Amino acid sequence: MSLFDESLWQPLVWTDYRLAVLFTVLAPLVLLIWAFVQKNEAIQRLFVIYWRVSSLLAISVYLMIASLPIAFLSGFFARILIPVSLWFWADLNDEIDGLQKSTLKLVFKAWRWATTIYCAIGVLFQLPSLQCASMPTETVVESAMCRVWLEAPWGFQAIFHPNTSPQLLGFVGISGLTIYLLYLLYFVFIRLSRSGRSAMG
């Protein structure tokens, strides 16, 4: 069987999208609400950072709706940046480790490890799709391998944006990606040099 056999990859990719919704959307949303109810400021601050970083996944979905090749790169790097955002902050790590034992702390730490492992596996899983990033848009649509990764975003459009053109949604994605990259550059070259690994800097 060929490495890029559609019958093999399609169920795997759809499973990956479902796991992404579970680990990167539903679970952190529930935990954020839980942290607000429990008035746990350390976990709240970490989730504010997490949602900013993980927005790259949502941006990638809109780029994929328009079949833009850069979507495959942005989705790949989102899997790398998300675990970084969960573990990078020394002050928040110390605060969370110092919290009294509670169900919230236990579930949060379990989710953080599970999401880290999921993203690490996802990075390896997405490696074959990176070939789509170097193709013209027309070729991306025609490629069986690339289409497998585009099916779920197309389904998302059919449900949530049925009357909006893919080109307009792609423009939204490009705009979001531009803002994201500008903020990332600001963080790396300015804020990081000032505050280091402190989330409160």
Tens of pLDDT, residue by residue over 90-123, are 999 999 999 999 999 999 999 999 999 999 999 9
Quote the CA–CA distance of 7 and 185 in Å, as a whole number. 40
Tens of pLDDT, residue by residue over 52-92, are 999 999 999 999 999 999 999 999 999 999 999 999 999 99
Examine the pLDDT at 2 and tell me if it is beyond 60. no
Examine the pLDDT at 1 and tell me if it is beyond 50. no
Domain spans, the chain: 6-195
Whether residue 191 contacts residue 201, with contact meaning beta carbons closer than 8 Å, is answered with yes
Q: Which amino acid is at 198?
A: S
**CA neighbor of 116 nearest in space, from 163, 81, 66:** 81
Tens of pLDDT, residue by residue over 13-60, are 999 999 999 999 999 999 999 999 999 999 999 999 999 999 999 999
Mean pLDDT along residues 176-196? 94
Tens of pLDDT, residue by residue over 123-177, are 999 999 999 999 999 999 999 999 999 999 999 999 999 999 999 999 999 999 9
Query: Long-range contacts for 148-153 (Cβ within 8 Å, ≥24 apart)?
Result: 148/6, 148/9, 148/10, 148/13, 149/13, 149/64, 149/72, 150/64, 150/65, 150/67, 151/10, 151/13, 151/14, 152/13, 152/14, 152/17, 153/61, 153/62, 153/64, 153/65
- Contact partners, residue 19, CB within 8 Å, separation at least 6: 118
- What's the confidence (pLDDT) of residue 201? 63
Query: Phi first, then psi: what are they for 2, rounded to 5°?
Result: -65, 145
